[in-house]
Amino acid sequence: MSADEQQRNPNPTTPAAAPAVPSVWTRPRRQKEQPALSRDQIVAAAVRLLDAEGIEALSMRRLGSGMGSAATSLYRHVANKDELIELVVDEVYGELEVPEVPDSGDPAGWRAAVALSGHSLRAMGLRHPWVASVLGQVGLAHLGPNLMNMSERMMALFQSAGFPPGEADLAMKAVISYVVGATTSEAAYLSALARSGRSEQEWLESLRPAAEQALAEHPLLAVEHSAREGRDPRTLREENFDYGLQRVLDGLEARLGHG
């Protein structure tokens, strides 16, 4: 052992402590916050900024400026932008509606409750389209109180359905993966639509000539397109989402039947 190593760890029989995983949820919260500014205020302002301008606009300097404070004031409560993203993600997850475990006399109640939870998660993702772009960089976001509470309530639904420990977690993740994937695509589409400055109906009408030309060489797609043409696009998006969600739940329900 070198002298430097011995200085860092004077007792060679005791391994050096591993560094903590960087996350807002792995360090203690300040007991005394500055009276002029709180972490809750910072998070609320960050959500407003993200909703209005998107993830590209978020920086500690930009956020502080919008709050009338220097970025250094924010750093007293949030160590860096990564921690801020963890906090805002957990904040919006607090909007989710997850029903209580249904009465034991309603054996199919779990399915309706999970479906409602899935629709609530989609609605949150569409209200806050920036969420989809940060889900891969939120560190230990699953340790946040709102996300933990949502997961606990959803887990209760799957266990009440009869999924055993271990598989209940897999069933829950299957539903959430579908919802997040479908909502990410839909949110990206709606964000592009917003940038165009057109309504959804106007956008689709402008694409009609190109779509008809492309479909002319694909008769099967043309039949499907004709079956849905002229319908309200928002209603169609909701039906698309629910169809996929119900098919995931069909599979889980069949899995329960097979024991």
3-state secondary structure the chain: CCHHHHHHCCCCCCCCCCCCCCCHHHCCCCCCCCCCCCHHHHHHHHHHHHHHHCHHHCCHHHHHHHCCCCHHHHCCCCCCHHHHHHHHHHHHHCCCCCCCCCCCCCCCHHHHHHHHHHHHHHHHHHHCCCHHHHHHHCCCHHHCHHHHHHHHHHHHHHHHHCCCCCHHHHHHHHHHHHHHHHHHHHHHHHHHHHHHCCCHHHHHHHHHHHHHHHHCCCHHHHHHHHHHCCCCHHHHHHHHHHHHHHHHHHHHHHHHHHC
pLDDT score at 97 = 95
pLDDT score at 143 = 80
Tell me the pLDDT tens digit for each residue of 205-254: 888 899 889 999 999 998 988 888 888 999 999 999 999 999 999 999 99
**Do 53 and 84 contact (CB within 8 A), yes or no?**
no
pLDDT-derived band at 109, boundaries 50, 70, 90: very high
Whole-model pTM over 0.75: yes
Residue whose C-alpha is closest to residue 184's, from 226, 234, 241, 113: 241
pLDDT-derived band at 18, boundaries 50, 70, 90: low
pLDDT score at 52 = 92
Taken in order of first residue, the domains within the chain and their CATH numbers are 32-79 (1.10.10.60), 109-197+229-258 (1.10.357.10)
